A and B are shown apart, each in its own frame.
Chain A
């Protein structure tokens, strides 16, 4: 197989016929997804081209302050997106930002201290991207679960409140359930690694010519860091957000 450096524009144009296959399939099956497929394909190309040039430029900066600012920007964007999944949650953006930031800081610190990576943009930014985006997805799942549980398990919460329980013991099952929901996709994916899928980073390294035995070391690191970051972020987000479902008189708020 040729390495990624040898991919020519002509080869990419030929590969773009895969999008046409998708379009034909959507049209023939009346899925009405043609517009979305086209937009997403064009957006992906533009975004990736832009990010390729931006990263090349950014990697040139060796300033840790600049790298940190970029991480903050990425975290804020992820927090903004995750908060959209939890409209019933007060200060959703702040809670999401704190949760994602905590997960990222702890995980990156351990990775840097263990000397697996160095605090250089070319390593920190792609790794943080993986960490932050996984936290964002985990938080979205947590918020969806916690909102639906507070709606569907109203009876359980009110029963506990009526016994004189504070809001934390009244919500603890819902909190645990929501943390689990945020973490399960990462745990499931860890269980099937190498059996069902060869994940992105490992595939990328192998395509770039790294030996599979070397590539698995990176994949093991990625899996551990994703497990850690999704658990930290989900834990903090759920424990900070459950209060939004109660008023100051410790009554469950009616949610639609």
Chain B
């Protein structure tokens, strides 16, 4: 049984076709790197998978059931999308870290927060820091921690390391790899050809809104 399946999915915006007839099956535990030139529709592909937008045509299924049969917010708690440019809201890092607990009406789990901060090589002193004073790398790591406080089943990563230095990239890659080993399915959009083949078991190439190839790597 496929975990996620796109059947002849197309997406148009303002009369412009962004994605056309995309069909792909994503299996549990997959680590799929998605590559393609800028503007080819990679981010739109991830946004469709996270149900932030609806396809103009075609169907998207999660565990054999159509997306429209699920509660959208519950679906997004399972399939989490991480943006290329991280957006930290509120004033402090704590505002961002508390948010996933607040929306689930759960108590703040300090142990889980400590565990993730340590995985991403950040001290918990950061919790009181003003988000406006963080570097790009710090913002991206905080945004990832925020998305991973409750482990998703599918993680959609949109060029999350594109603005990071080598050390930060390595930290993020290691965490993502270990999550995948724990069973989290990963779809990772990247422009880095070395990165695209390093951890993935499949490589999806999108060009001009169409799937050019889906190659097995391992």
Contact = CB atoms under 8 A, between A and B. Distances in A.
Contact of B73 (A156, A159, A165, A247): A165
B89 A164 contact: no
A22 interface: no
B53 A159 contact: no
Contacts of B108: none
A251 B13 CA distance: 15
B132 to A, nearest CB: 14
16 contacts: A156-B89, A163-B76, A163-B99, A163-B100, A163-B103, A164-B74, A164-B150, A173-B89, A247-B54, A249-B67, A249-B68, A250-B73, A251-B53, A251-B54, A252-B52, A254-B13
Contacts of A249: 51, 54, 67-68, 72
A117 B100 CA distance: 50
A160 B99 CA distance: 9
Nearest to A249: B72
B147 interface: yes
Contacts of A158: 52, 83
Contacts of A16: none
Nearest to A154: B87
Given A249-B51, A250-B72, A163 B146 contact: yes
A252 B77 CA distance: 17
A188 interface: no
A254 B52 CA distance: 11
Interface in B64-102: 67-68, 72-74, 76-77, 80-83, 85, 87, 89, 99-100, 102
Contacts of B13: 254
Contacts of B85: 155
Nearest to B83: A159
A181 to B, nearest CB: 19
B99 A156 contact: no
A206 to B, nearest CB: 46
A164 B100 contact: yes
A165 B83 contact: no
A-B CB proximity, top 9 nearest: A164-B77, A162-B81, A250-B72, A159-B87, A164-B76, A165-B103, A155-B87, A249-B72, A166-B73
Contact of A169 (B50, B53, B103, B146): B103
Contact of B87 (A156, A165, A247, A252): A156
Given A156-B89, A159-B89, A251-B72, A164 B103 contact: yes
Contacts of A37: none
Nearest to A247: B54
